[in-house]
A = this chain, B = another copy of it.
Amino acid sequence: MKPEKIEVILSAACQLFAENNFQNVSMEEVAVSAGVGKGTLYNYFQSKDDLYFSILRFRLEKLLAVLEEAYSNRDDFLRNLRSLILHLYSFMSKYHYFHRIWIREENSLEQKNNTVILEMRNKILNLIRRVLLQGQYEKLLKKSISMDTSVELIYCIINYMPMNRNPKNKKNITIDFLMEILLTGIGIKYLDISVHYKEYKHEIR
């Protein structure tokens, strides 16, 4: 059973768009790379823009499905968090071409008023929030740090910490490292940073 033609096109386009800027990829290239005629692209997508954002939409839909499925409702914050991070991380590693495009675009979504994609992004953030709420309930989270901040932090680390997402990238950070850093920071146990702040603050301007 051969894969749907639309998936073939999306895959080919995704790789090309990952390796080059939007404007440096021509529809001709996409067609050749996908093994179809140029006109065929327009049977599936209304325009080059549509093709581009369809990649994001399709992949994010898939990601959301994966995360929804992965999220166990068990009352165990640490397990849930680990599962979430693991699946997010795995997905981004598997679809590393998509990942490249995603981190390039997600900071411009608001400019482009791309509400559809923005909503999907919010769904992911909400999933993270749900897990953290469980952690809050289990009293495993600091009260000093806001929920939103924590959500952003997790999302930020998963998306932007350089990991072994493509073969050329040797750097490799394990999930457990991420968990440890996230939950206990990089400082030694019992590190008290409060004192320093007080006296320091007066120096700055």
Contact = CB atoms under 8 A, between A and B. Distances in A.
A180 B145 contact: yes
A19 to B, nearest CB: 7
Copies of the protein in its oligomer: 4
A161 interface: yes
Given A100-B107, A186-B153, A145 B193 contact: no
B150 A186 contact: yes
A185 B185 contact: yes
Contact of A180 (B184, B188, B190, B193): B193
A145 B186 contact: yes
* Residue in A22, A173, A181 whose Cβ sees the most chain B Cβ within 10 Å: A181
A184 B187 contact: yes
Given A82-B200, A140-B187, A160-B156, A107 B111 contact: no
15 contacts: A19-B111, A22-B23, A78-B196, A79-B196, A104-B104, A104-B108, A142-B187, A142-B188, A145-B186, A149-B177, A181-B185, A182-B187, A183-B185, A184-B187, A189-B190
Interface of A: 19, 21-23, 76, 78-79, 82, 86, 100, 103-104, 107-108, 111, 139-142, 144-145, 148-150, 152-153, 156-157, 159-162, 171, 173, 176-177, 179-191, 193, 196-197, 200, 204
